[in-house]
Amino acid sequence: MAQDRTITGTVTGKEDGKPLPGVTVLVKGSKIGTQTGGDGKYTLSVPSSSSELIFSYLGYLSQTKSASGNTVNVSLESDSKALTEVVVTALGVSKEKRTLGYSAQTIKSEDIVNSRESNIVNTLAGKVAGVQINNSGGQAGSSSRIIIRGTTSLIGDNQPLFIIDGIPMDNSTNRGISENDESALFSGSGGNRAIDIDPNTIENVTVLKGAAASALYGSRGAMGVIVITTKRGKKDLNRKFPKVTLSSSLALDDAYTKGYQTSYLQGSLGKYKNGLPVGQGGYSEVANGATQTSASWGPHKDSVSQAVIDAVGRPTVIDPREQFYRTGKVWNNSVSISGGGEASSYIITYSNLNQQGVVPNNSFKRNSFSGNFTSQLSKDFTSSTSVSYINSKNLRLPEGNTARSYLYSLNFAPISFDSKAAYQAAGQNRAWTAAGSGFNNPYWLVNNVEMPSAVDRFIISNESNLQILPWLKLTNRVGLDTYTDSQQEHVNIGTLSVPAGRMYESLIKQAQINNDLILSAESKINEDMKISGLIGQNINQRNFIRRTLRGTDLSAPGFYDIKGVGTQEALQLDEKRRLIGLYASATFEYKNYLYLNATARNDWSSTLPIDGNSFFYPSVSAGFVFTELMDLNNNNYFNYGKLRLSYAQAGNDADPYSTYQSYLGANPGDGQRGNIIFPYNGVGAFRKNSRLYNNLLKPEKVVEKEIGLDLKFFKNRLAIDASYYDKVSNMQILPQEISGASGYVDRVINAGKISNKGLELTVTGTPLRTADFSWDVTINFAKNKYKLKSIADGVDNIFLAGFDSPQIRVDKDFGYGVIWGTRYERNEQGRILIDDDGLPLVADDLGPIGNVTPDWTGGIRSTFNYKGLSLSGLLDIRHGGDILNFDLYYTTFYGTAKVTEQRNTPTTWNGIRKSDGTENKTPVMQNQSYFQNDYTRAYEALVEDGGFAKLREVTLSYNLPQSLLAKTPFQSVGFSVTGRNLWIKSNFSFGDPEGSLLGNGNAQGFYHAVTPGTKGVTFGLNVKF
Amino acid sequence: MKRKYILFPLTFVLLLTTLSSCKKYLDINRDPNLPADVTEKLMLPAIIGTFSYEVAGGYPTRTATLWTKHLAYAGADRHSGSYYLTENDVDNFWRFSSYNSVMGTAVEMIAKAEKNGNPSYAAIGRIILAWNLSYLTECYGSIPYSDAFKAEQGVIKPKYDTQEDIYKEIQKLLDQSIVDAGKGTGLKPGVDDFIYGGVMQSWVHLANTLKARFYLRLSNAPGYNAATQADLALKALDAGAITDKDAPTATYFSVANAENPWYQFAIGGKWNFSTKPSQYYVNLLLGDDEIPGTLDPRLPFQVSVVPKGSDPANPGVNAGKYVGVTNDGPPLNIANYSPIGSFYSARNAKLNLLVYAEVPFIRAEAEFLKANKSVNAAVVAAYNEGVAASMTFYGIDVNPSTSSAETKAYLAYPDHVINLATSSTDAYRRIMQQKYIANYLQFEAYNDFRRTGYPVLPINDEVYAPDVDLVNKPEMGIIPLRLPYPSSERSYNKENIPSDIPINTVNAMQIPVWWDKK
């Protein structure tokens, strides 16, 4: 018998040089083995005859080393495309990716943190094929919209369900006042509540795109699911002190201010006016003319007349936009301590985000405490509890079509009037227009009109597992997500549009309770066959309460207390919905290459008619690893191939209170600004509802078929993941607008059929890899073809948002997200018809003038690693899709738009003269009257290409080499610099077409008085010890 | 026994018990914020409040006053004062204000009142329904009524009734309301009746007055005879019309969100200050400095002088003067022009749904038409009563022995006088001219203008001063004769819109309504 000998060594990760605990070290050809400890070290007695050791570790490429000498150190290379990649699927079930019959894509912690976005939704931009993100604007605390595989529902919320640590999380965008009381068109909209989640705490995010993937989530997963898993503590018995991770960053942001002319001064018809009142330095080049005007139709800055210079000197020219926006700053600090003993582990994180927006006074602050505690309470019983408390404060300024919006002033500011000086000198609301008319001073506005909000949120969840038998497990997962959102509006006395001032004080309370009880079993029938399955029950309740006190006519400037107002009004909203679900799932695995999964779920929803509130939907999926059958596992060129097939149904319920008729409180208004509030003189009043409800509603139904391929080549150096889906949403629940003469404005019906077909492609590759250097590339591409097959019998279109014209609508003939408004008259060839004066004619009727839905979206990420240095860039591309730039309507009228720089030059419209059918040759002079009266006569002129290519992020990071840190208490030290949106290619007038006045709702593409997007640089530091 | 044999059934029992209690647990879908049913007492204030604010003091009236030149909109952009409007602009008035809020609620309240045996509520409901119908047909011509309000029965594209049929329905509704108002049984309206506080006799007076108004409306209608219509109008008035004591008004208060609609629209600064008395109208009432008797004593009540110090930029340019605006961007700050008189536009000013002076003017015109457009003693008496009523309305003393010199001169000025010697044309013009001034800010002035052609109004192309160009030229060469059909009807009921009304709003607005055949 040969003598045993002892080999020791350390196993480290190749990428970061850190020790790897728990690596299996096995003597080849034997059952002798051990595992590395917390410090990555191992000691193993091996028979002297042994020649090789095998090192294997989940997520790393196994390595075989010669067992020569007494020390064998190994650095394992992580297998980023590991065959054993584990993903979290529906209901928190972890599965090997190779077993899935549907597509699921995971984003790692670094990729989330490195995007340096405060809003978790934005961190996903450009990273997942088929996921489209749109940021609503550049104010700190703005909302972002996320949709997966196109628009599934005509008017419902199309955004996916968010699941955090197994429980549903609210991602609403709340307003302190209802849309009826004040449209978002006149105030803009605040943040989506996923903004409360601190990206630092996230371990990974898995996107379940299709119905097959999300089927077990039931009706709430019909739009896809974002599964967020937070970080956990790791067992590390050898440490004396907890592991401490510090992360700190500072971002500097600037606003995009493109799109304005910088040559022409305030005035009219080429004559200068200086914007000051008469008697206070006011001057007009026209004798006895008004000295103030909203127009920037004065002289060119270089051709100011001598008369003006003699009278008031040469006018000073500024860029009002550049002057106004400040450098935004985001401080983000996070500290976590973590660790674990024999039976339990923990992590506690505190983070603080302090963002000063690019708009003066705009800020977003977030403090979050979170912790997870996982314990093995007995041999068979484990329990894991997560608790988060988040406090988010947002000071937002109104946006949109109102004189209270600073943008509805700044965007029209002439280059020759210094609003900042005017505000600072007088401390008053003095703009370049006459007192009491025109515009508010934007500096005055940001100091006197604000919409603060403060959220206190708890997300608490517990998962307990009882291993009843080795093959049978009972899991209960209970979660509570609750917050209060205290929102306010302060409009000071002296604001044009609300001269006497007003306020509201609103308290929103949202609570979601969710419980899943799951019994799961797993059984190996024989060597080749394995079955597993689960049955479960779900209860979900969501409760929304809003109490708003609104006051009009303040008693004193800046005094915002409901007792100090002229008129008080109390508004109340209560909404409760409940859902019960029963579900089952079964998986069959055969020989490592065939995987079959079937699910079934039945839901009972409170929002459907009580006698028809039950709905059932099944799914089946299959994964077939054909390379296994072909024995290609070790093939150098093509080593992995899987075919995925799935079919799934999902249902969706209605909005609450759509099944019974009710009366509305009377609130006469003039459609513009005036109204009468009841109770009036002590008398209450109710009127007929404007919506006809329906007690025969049925659930919406989504059917999705998906086929996919996973291919890996060149020993995983190149991987392709492709999916094709065909999703049909049927029996949509929607309010159908009907002739008002029927007595109602709209009625709730089941109707509409939408088809989304699309292709998603993810290609990951490592073109170059040497010992020290590697280059990785990931390409995402998605193309979704949307087709509105029908709306409803007699329904031609559905209004989504906007004005009557222009508006964003769903149209039977033109699809979803149609921009509808006045358009040019065209002949049969589509040529614009021109009148005898050379001006385009406007068609009598409204029509489609654009569509906001992009043709395709894509992202390219490229990462270079050289030793500890890493350079990574993410290019986000959205091709096609229009945007309605309603700001152009005003900026061309007032003469601040870039396009008005062409003023007083002739242009000839490309079109056909209507009178004689000949090519138009009549030039028109592009003068003030042209821009004010003719240029935007058709809203078609306001439609611009919303496509872009954006360098979302460029990150340069450097980790200090392990050799330097060896003698310090630090485990790792890293620095990073990230550039956000440093480069944008877009034809959009204002540079960055991401922006939506209506926030993250369905009506995207309505750009009007929206805070422009920002670009910036973030400096970050990460330390672990 | 092994654990698993207990646990399996236990789990299933747990799952199944949730099912049985499911139904009750899920039966929570009734909106706690909105009542499922309301009484007539809660509906009536909604009907009257909305009709007053959104219709009588709302969009149709605001637009009409620009076209009849009581007011003008001093804006540089295209607007309804320059005859520019879109099918969207007229949409709220059609579907939200009229068909849904006012008439839709009224139809439900009438049904409820009949079922519950509350004829007083049915009566008031029918009067407001008829009145709102008249606004609609006067703006649009043919409108749905007999097929309307039937969405519950699946009628979502109601057919249109001709204007002639609408007026017949209006008369029927008013007749029925007069019968019901006299019953005196059932629930009695009180503070919920914002107009008359439950005095049903006054509702009868109003119904009779409206009947007279609508009979006279058809004086030139095809197939109708002016004298016959005049006689019907007189009979309706004789049955008991409103007096100066029970003219219908809506009350407003000096607190936010309870203010007079003209205040909220034109004075309060919520929107802008551009809606002001027109230059034409101010000059009409100012008369000619050189000619005594041309200055109208009602001027200070209808129009305010430019306040002092209102515009620090131009202190005193027009202060203390009556200066009207045109439908174009003004050369001076808007504060330098006269606002609507506070009699109409104070925060707590009453909104006149109909002025008493209309009654004698209807009588004057009816007597005149009945006499084949000739002047007789009844015409003279009614005309004089009308002018006097219009003056008294503001508290102007018209007693010949005590009235001011200015009033005396005005009343004696030849063009303000009708006597037996007055020519037919002059008499008609003078009746309608005085009615037009009495009906300041009333939608009715627009109906009278279209029906009779009086007063003879120029189109809105005035300029501020002789040397200022008109930037905002009128979209058409005549004063608009109707509103275009609204966008919601074009979108959701286009099959039923009368084919002779084109989509193009400018073309549509030049087509007269059925009775407009002067």
Q: Encode A691-702 in three state secondary structure.
A: EECCCCCCCEEE
Condensed to tens digits (0 to 9), the pLDDT of residues A515-549 reads 999 999 989 888 889 999 999 999 999 999 999 99
Note whether A683 contacts B191, CB cutoff 8 Å: yes
C-alpha–C-alpha distance, residues A181 and A188, integer Å: 14
- The whole-number pLDDT of residue B12 equals 58
Find the closest chain A residue to B44 by CA distance.
Answer: A685
A657/B30 CB distance under 8 A: yes
Asked if A846 is an interface residue toward chain B (Cβ–Cβ < 8 A), one would say: yes
Instruction: Choose the closest CB to A610 out of B27, B151, B155.
Output: B27
Select the residue from B333, B470, B473 to test the A interface by mutation, using most A Cβ atoms within 10 A. B333
Task: List pLDDT tens digits, range A244-255.
Answer: 999 999 999 999
Of A280, A662, A738, the CB nearest to B34: A662
pLDDT tens sequence across A584-626:
999 999 988 999 999 999 999 999 999 999 999 999 999 999 9
pLDDT digits (tens, 9 = 90+) for A727-746: 998 888 888 889 999 999 99
- In this prediction, residue A684 carries a pLDDT of 93
Question: Is B5 a residue whose pLDDT tops 90?
Answer: no
Q: How many CB atoms lie within 10 A of CB A748?
A: 20
Q: Would the CB atoms of A468 and B4 count as touching at under 8 Å?
A: yes
Chain A touched by B158 (CB under 8 Å): yes
Taking contacts as CB-CB distances below 8 angstroms, the residues of chain A near B331 are 289-290
Cα of A578 to nearest chain B Cα, Å = 6
**Host H or E run for residue B73:** strand B71-73
User: Which residues, numbered 585 to 604 in chain A, qualify as contacts with chain B under a Cβ-Cβ cut-off of 8 Å?
Assistant: 604
Give the contacts of B183 (CB within 8 A, at least 6 positions apart). Answer: B119, B120
- Determine, for residues A497 and B270 on separate chains, whether the beta-carbon distance falls below 8 Å: yes
From chain B, the residues in CB contact with A656 under 8 A are 29, 31
In the predicted model, is pLDDT for residue A262 greater than 90? Answer: yes
**Residue A932 pLDDT class (50, 70, 90 cuts):** confident
Residue among B264, B311, B487 minimizing CB distance to A674? B264
pLDDT value at position B467? 64
Cβ contact, residue pair A670, B96, below 8 Å: no
**Percentage of chain A modeled with pLDDT above 70:** 98
Residue B315, min C-alpha distance to chain A (Å): 9
B86 close to A (CB below 8 A): yes
Q: What percent of chain B has pLDDT over 90?
A: 83
- Flag if A681 and B11 touch (Cβ within 8 Å): no
Query: What sections of A713-786 are H helices per DSSP?
Result: none
Tens digit of pLDDT for each residue in A127-171?
Answer: 888 888 888 888 998 888 888 888 887 777 788 999 999 999 999
Looking at every residue in chain B, the average pLDDT score rounds to 93
CB contact under 8 A, A686 and B46: yes
Rg (CA), chain A: 31
Q: Is B494 on the interface with A (CB under 8 A)?
A: no
Is the CB of residue B94 less than 8 Å away from at least one CB of chain A? yes
> Judged by CB atoms within 8 Å, which residues 302-341 of B form the interface with A?
311-315, 331-335
Residue B7: pLDDT band (50, 70, 90) is low
- Tokens 């909305």 correspond to B50
At A96 the pLDDT is 82
Cβ atoms within 10 Å, residue A386: 23
The mean-pLDDT minimum among A225-239, A994-1008, B245-259 falls in A994-1008
Q: Does residue B270 sit at the A interface (CB-CB below 8 Å)?
A: yes
Q: How many CB atoms neighbour CB A655 within 10 A?
A: 14
User: Which of B49, B270, B313 lies closest to A282 in CB terms?
Assistant: B313
Q: Which two tokens stand for residue A725?
A: 């889906």
| CB of A574 less than 8 A from some CB of B | yes
Give the pLDDT of residue A592: 83
Using alpha carbons, list the distances in angstroms from residue A19 to A10, A75, A972. 7, 9, 11
Q: Looking at A19-23, A580-584, B65-69, which range is the least confident one? A: A19-23
Are the Cβ atoms of A566 and B256 closer than 8 angstroms? Answer: yes
Instruction: Evaluate if residue A352 carries a pLDDT over 50.
Output: yes
Q: In whole angstroms, how large is the CA radius of gyration of chain B? A: 27
Residue A688: closest C-alpha in chain B: B105
Return the ∠ at Cα B405 (arms to B401 and B407), rounded to 5°. Answer: 85
Cα distance between residue A285 and residue A49, in whole Å: 103
Q: Does A618 touch chain B (CB under 8 A)?
A: no
Residue of A nearest to B43 (CA): A686
CB A878 within 8 A of CB A945: no
Q: What pLDDT score does B14 carry?
A: 60
Strongest mean pLDDT among A699-713, A837-851, B130-144: B130-144
CB A400 within 8 A of CB A187: yes
pLDDT band for A211, please (50, 70, 90 cuts): confident
CA dihedral A77, A81, A82, A87 (to 10 degrees): 130
Q: Name the minimum distance, in Å, from the CA of A702 to any CA of chain B.
A: 23
What integer pLDDT is reported at residue A272 of this predicted model?
Answer: 95
A607: tokens are 């929002």
Q: How far is A845 from chain B (nearest CA, A)?
A: 7
Question: Is residue A1001 predicted with pLDDT exceeding 60?
Answer: yes
Which pLDDT score is estimated for A25? 86
Residues of A in contact with B52 (CB under 8 A): 668
Name the closest residue on chain B to residue A684, using Cα atoms: B42
Q: Tell me the CA distances in angstroms from A265 to A283, A418, A742, one per residue in order.
A: 13, 12, 53
Residue B19: predicted pLDDT: 58
**In this structure, is the dihedral angle defined by the CA atoms of residues B160, B165, B171 and B173, taken in order, positive or negative?**
negative
Contact A737 B492 (CB under 8 A): yes
Interface contact A682, partner B, CB < 8 A: yes
Binned at pLDDT 50, 70 and 90, residue B21 comes out as low
pLDDT score for B515:
97
**Which tens digit of pLDDT belongs to each residue from B380-390?**
999 999 999 99
Whether residues B270 and A674 touch (CB distance < 8 A) is answered with: yes
**Residues of B in Cβ contact (< 8 Å) with A565:** 256
Residue A615 identity (one-letter amino acid): F
Please check whether residue B124 is in contact with residue B44, taking contact to mean a CB–CB distance below 8 angstroms: yes
Assess whether pLDDT exceeds 50 at residue A81: no
Contacts of B53 in chain A (CB under 8 A): 668-670, 674-676
Per DSSP, the residues of B261-310 read: HHIIIIISSSS-S-EEEBHHHHHHHH--TTSTT-S-TTHHHHBPPPPTTS
Range name among A88-92, A233-237, B33-37, B307-311 with the lowest pLDDT average? B307-311
Of A76-90, A289-303, A351-365, A956-970, give the range with the top mean pLDDT. A351-365
Chain B CB within 8 Å of residue A381 CB: no
Residue with tokens 């002190």: A241
Query: Do B341 and B301 meet the contact criterion of CB atoms below 8 Å apart?
Result: yes
- At A49, list the tokens: 């005859």
- The pLDDT assigned to B6 comes to 56
The shortest C-alpha distance from B46 to chain A (Å) reads 5
Contact criterion met (CB < 8 Å) for B491 and A796: yes
Local structure of residue B337 (DSSP, 8 states): S
| pLDDT value for A82 | 45
Identify all chain A residues contacting B141, using CB atoms and an 8 Å cutoff: none
User: Closest residue of B to A434, CA-based?
Assistant: B333
Tens of pLDDT, residue by residue over B252-309, are 999 888 999 999 999 988 778 899 999 999 999 999 989 999 999 999 999 999 988 6
Separation CA A742–CA A689 (nearest Å): 12
Of all residues in chain B, the percent with pLDDT exceeding 70 is 94
pLDDT of residue A1 exceeding 70, the answer is no
Write out pLDDT tens, residues A542-553: 999 999 999 989
Judge: B99–A469 Cβ closer than 8 Å, yes or no.
Answer: no
The band of A413, judged by pLDDT with boundaries at 50, 70 and 90, is very high
Q: What was the pLDDT predicted at B138?
A: 98
Could you give the CA distance from residue A76 to residue A56 in angstroms, rounded to a whole number? 8
Is B247 in contact with B203 (CB distance < 8 Å)?
no
Could you report the per-residue pLDDT of A44-68, keeping only the tens digit for each? 888 877 778 888 877 777 888 888 7
A406 has a pLDDT exceeding 80: yes
Q: Which residue of B has its CA nearest to A844?
A: B504
Tokens of A299: 């002289």
Minimum distance, in Å, between the CA of residue A747 and any CA atom of chain B: 8
ipTM of the complex: 0.93
Q: Are the beta carbons of A726 and B130 closer than 8 angstroms?
A: no
